[in-house]
Structure 1
Amino acid sequence: MYIKGELMKRVLLVIVGIIPLFLSGITLERSIELSLAKNRELLSKQFDISKAERDIEVSKSNLLPQLSFEVGGNISNTHNPEAFTGGPGNIEDKLTLTASEDAHMLADHMNGIYESLVPEDSETKVQVSSKIKATQLIYSGGKVSTGVKINQTLLEIQKDSYELAKENVIYRTKELFYSALLTRDVLQITKDSWALANKHYQQVKLMNEEGMSSDYDLLRAELEVSRLEPAVEKAINDYKMVISALEQHLGNSSIDVIEGDIVLPMAEDISLNQCYIELIDNRIELKMANKKKQIEKYSYKIAKSDYLPSIGLNSEVGIFAQDEDMPTDSDYYGYSYSIGIGFSIPLFTGFSTENKIKKAKLSLKQVLNDNADMEDKLRLEVKQNHLELGKTWKTVRTMNKNLELAESGFAIATTRYENQLGIQLELIDAQLQLKQAKLELKNATYNTIMATEKLHLSLGRKLN
């Protein structure tokens, strides 16, 4: 007979190794707070909301006057061919000495006319202009205002999508948090079982030394201690893995230990019909589906508005100038302005409007069909979750009863063994049954908690 010193050493090291995990704690409320603050999906949803708000402002801008300012300048230089620049010369020089004063005056006027008609060898022109244009949509068949309503509805859908993602994040946080509590309790139960088996081994060892127990009893007690060692290590690894998953979910926040207990929720007596009523009233997906239906109605209205006329105002004010050099004198500047109203109505569009209307009708019917299908699936989901919750409560009641029986059986087996009325196998079996009953009750309690949360989620209730 020998004491498995190395075995005890390793187990003690394992136990010591998990002590740092129990330095400081995190609560469920803090976990939810961190998950909501650091979740990237929620951050992306917030960006979508901000973009949808900008889309509304962009669509509203089409209802306001549109102003634009234009300014331009041009410098041109032309070198004319010699054939175009020649002229008759100075006509006055060709007059005779006896020509009258009237003839000289006429010749001088003719010289001026020729100079204005015949281009110079090189000509330079400088032109500058600026104008302000304004347009105002008066009527477009309701396209712009309906477009604003579509974007407003899309914003509401984005907000609903954010709330839906938020509830899913909270549910996932609770699932991981309670999983961590479960694995922590499983670890503790396994450690307690090992400690109990080791205590029994020490008792059998003393009895064996006094000749009150056989070598087989000692070997059997030692094997039971050895058998529980890998179970302890597995429980430690399971706990660490769940903690790692929770840390990642919380944005890589460091967790030393979790605070809280796995406690049965308050039992709620709710019928399946009541669940269906809550589903219709609260489920975010159904609200989003109704808003998508409204968008398709708006799209149908826009398609029909292509038959209607559009009316708009436009105006323009401009100033311009032209000279051989940069014009600076106000005498070289002119101005212009105009104001008008435009009316346009489609006469024939190649049947595109008719096809747009038909497509909009089909889209509306498709949305109605999808919404009905979604409601059927959500009803089935609620029914399944309602049945699952009822099953978990029945399991909890059974496991509670089993634990009571296992505790009584262990107490009886211990008394019988200590009074040498029972055998060691009977005690070991009672220990195993007690451990199994505790684990099964913990699992049943966890399943009941999560089934409750899942039903609440499927009913559209706020989880936090």
Structure 2
Amino acid sequence: MNRKNVFFIALLMASASLPAQNGKKWTLNDCINYALDKNIQLQQNKISLLESEEDVKDAKAALFPSLSFSTGHNIVNRPYRSNSATVNGTEIISSDSKTTYNGSYSLSAQWTLWNGNRRLNSLKQQKKNREIAQLTVEETENMLKEQITQLFIQILYADESIAINKGTLEVSKATYERGKELFNEGSISKADLAQLESQVSSDQYQLVTSESTLRNYKLQLKQLLELDGTAEMELELPELSSEHVMEMLPSQIDVYQTALATRPEIQSGKLNIDNAKLNISYAKGGYMPTISLSASTSSTTNNSSQNNWAQQMKYGWNNMIGISLSIPLYDQRQNKSAVRKAKLQYSTSQLDLMNQEKELYSTIEGFYLDALNAQQQYAAAETKVKSSQTSFDMVSEQFNLGMKNTVELLTEKNNLLSAKQELLQAKYMAILNRTLLNFYADQEIKL
């Protein structure tokens, strides 16, 4: 494959991974899937998972013997020895030369037969650590899904808030134009006209603020997706009706029971307890004897010998096999401290799990109460918006006829704007918390 083809394929892959670059709008699922593929923190956790898999392999390899080869080569100078002799048929290496060369070759093996099951417990611990690392990846994925969902719904809120502020600004401009006509007719004072003009500026400021809030939410979303902050990103924002707001909430007890069985942070806490138990057994192994088996084969050569290299290797060849027993008698309290610390860590891991379960229940209860309150507020806000709209329409009509003053008109207008904002806030608070409740109940995130 030539360089042009490689470049073309890489370009296609890069463009396929970025919906915004080919004109496609980003949906909530697009954002979540892209973040799961590109988020730096998640990638770091996946690397830690790979490292834990290597630790498991190391622990397995520790069950088997080790084998090593060593060789040494030395140049020796003997300035005062110049004779040679043979004693009981064994040649004493010496030479007239002051400098000689000798070499050694050794193949050795070591195998720990038993050490209080510490190797087996270590292997079990590393397997638990690998499972914990996998759960950490899943926990980070869940965190990203929650954060992206929250930002996406905040963007929906900000976008609809902009629409409300634009409508309010248009009403203010139309009212100001009508005010100028009434001023020219002498129906209102210059101070009243100035108030209407000031209201236009205030509404313009609110629109700019809401647009800035939307840009800030989009920037936070880009950062979670590891996108350039200056890159164009067009979102596909669904229209959510009141039916989405008032959907029945799942039982918080059912959600909690499901979350206890499925949430990775809870499963990780349970594995930490299992690991702490294994650590106690591992620490107790320090009191046990260690039995090791060793074997080696080796030979030496020397250039001052009358035998050639092959003969020296043959006649100098020796084999060794041995077994050793090590019994700890006094270790300056190291094993006792290790066991006590392991037991304390076990108690800590149990308390950590209890705290995680408590925090999980508090989180779910918070979602439930916030969703329930938001639904009730939404129902009340709908009625308030209708009555405020009716009141504003009547006062606006009377103002145009010169029957109401500026203060009364602006008061009704602000009341209407406040009611719309309350309705909008309750709407998306209910949708967000219900969506997260369903997610903790092990359902896919969808709007």
Q: Same fold (TM over 0.5)?
A: yes
TM score, norm. by length of structure 2? 0.80
Paired position in structure 2 for 1:343: 325
Measure the CA separation in 2 of the matches of 1:362 and 1:224.
66
Aligned residue in 2 for 1:255: 232
2:258–2:440 Cα contact (<8 Å) kept? no
What is the SS of the residue equivalent to 1:268?
Answer: coil
- Kindly provide the CA deviation profile for residues 204-257 of structure 1, in whole angstroms up to 9, marking residues without a partner as x: 445666x48445565554443233222222223222233223223321342344
Number of the residue aligned with 2:343 = 361
Q: After TM superposition, give the deviation of residue 57 of structure 1 in Å.
A: 1.0
Q: CA deviation at 1:202?
A: 3.1
Matches of 1:323 and 1:205, distance apart in 2: 117
Mapped contact 1:309–1:344 kept (Cα < 8 A) = yes
In the alignment, is residue 39 of structure 1 matched against residue 21 of structure 2?
no
Q: Tell me if structure 2 keeps the 8 A contact 1:136–1:312.
A: yes
Q: Which has the larger radius of gyration?
A: 1
Amino acid at match of 1:255: E
Q: Match for 2:154: what amino acid?
A: S
| Equivalent position to 1:193, from 168, 171, 181 | 168
Structure 1 residues 194, 369: CA separation in 2 closer, same or farther (over 3 Å shift)?
closer
In structure 2, what is the Cα distance between the partners aligned to 1:249 and 1:206? 52
Q: Partners in 1 of 2:312 and 2:24 — Cα distance?
A: 86
Deviation at 1:152, TM superposition (A): 0.8
Alpha-carbon shift at residue 291 of structure 1 (Å): 0.6
Distance verdict in 2 for CA 1:424–1:364, change over 3 Å: closer
Taking the aligned partners of 1:344 and 1:138, their CA distance within structure 2 comes to 12
Is the alpha carbon distance of 1:24 and 1:276 closer, same or farther for their aligned partners in structure 2, counting shifts above 3 Å? Answer: closer
**Aligned partners of 2:32 and 2:148 also within 8 Å:** yes
Size of the aligned set, in residue pairs, is: 408
Alignment of 1:445-456 (within 5 A): 445-456=427-438
Who is 1:269 aligned against? 249
Instruction: State the match for 1:103 in structure 2.
Output: none
Letter aligned with residue 362 of structure 1: L
Whole-angstrom CA distance in 2 between matches of 1:226 and 1:78: 103
Counterparts of 1:235-250 in structure 2, within 5 Å, are: 235-250=210-225
1:64-83 to 2 correspondences below 5 Å: 64-80=64-80
Any stretches of 5+ residues in structure 2 without a counterpart? 1-22, 84-90
Could you tell me whether the CA contact under 8 Å between 1:125 and 1:325 is conserved in 2? no
Q: Which residue of 2 aligns with 1:290?
A: 270
Matched, 1:161 2:136: yes
1:17-166 correspondence to structure 2 within 5 Å:
25-80=25-80, 122-166=97-141
**How far apart in 2 are the matches of 1:329 and 1:154?**
52
Aligned residue type for 2:432:
M
Kept in 2: contact 1:80–1:122 (CA 8 A): no
By how many angstroms is 1:129 displaced? 2.1
Choose the corresponding residue for 1:310, options 287, 290, 301.
290
Residue 147 (structure 1) shift: 0.5
Matched residue, 1:177: 152
Distance 1:319 1:232, change over 3 A: same
Determine the C-alpha separation between the residues in 2 that align with 1:218 and 1:24. 47
- Counterpart Cα distance in 1 of 2:80 and 2:380: 111
Amino acid aligned to 1:383: E
Q: What is residue 383 of structure 1 aligned with on the other side?
A: 365
Measure the CA separation in 2 of the matches of 1:314 and 1:193. 88
SS at match of 2:321: strand
For 2:405 and 2:156, locate their aligned partners in 1 and report how far apart those are by CA, in whole Å: 36
Q: Is the 8 A contact 1:167 1:463 kept in 2?
A: no
Quick one: distance in 2 between partners of 1:121 and 1:315?
Answer: 37
Give 1:16's aligned residue. none
Deviates more, 1:354-363 or 1:128-137: 354-363
| Runs of 4+, deviation exceeding 6 Å | none
- Aligned alpha-carbon RMSD (Å): 3.1
Contact kept? 1:311, 1:344, Cα under 8 Å: yes
Measured against aligned partners, the alpha-carbon deviations of 1:113-148 in whole angstroms (never above 9, x if no partner) come to xxx99x876544332221211122332221111101
Three-state SS of the structure 2 residue aligned to 1:79 is coil
Instruction: Find the partner of 1:330 among 310, 333, 336.
Output: 310
- Structure 2 contact 250–437 (Cα < 8 Å) conserved: no
Cα distance between partner residues in 2 of 1:39 and 1:55 = 25
Asked if the contact 2:77–2:100 (Cα under 8 Å) also holds between the matched residues in 1, the reply is yes
Aligned residue type for 2:225 = L
| Higher alpha-carbon deviation: 133-142 or 250-259 | 250-259
SS in structure 2 of the partner of residue 148 of structure 1: helix
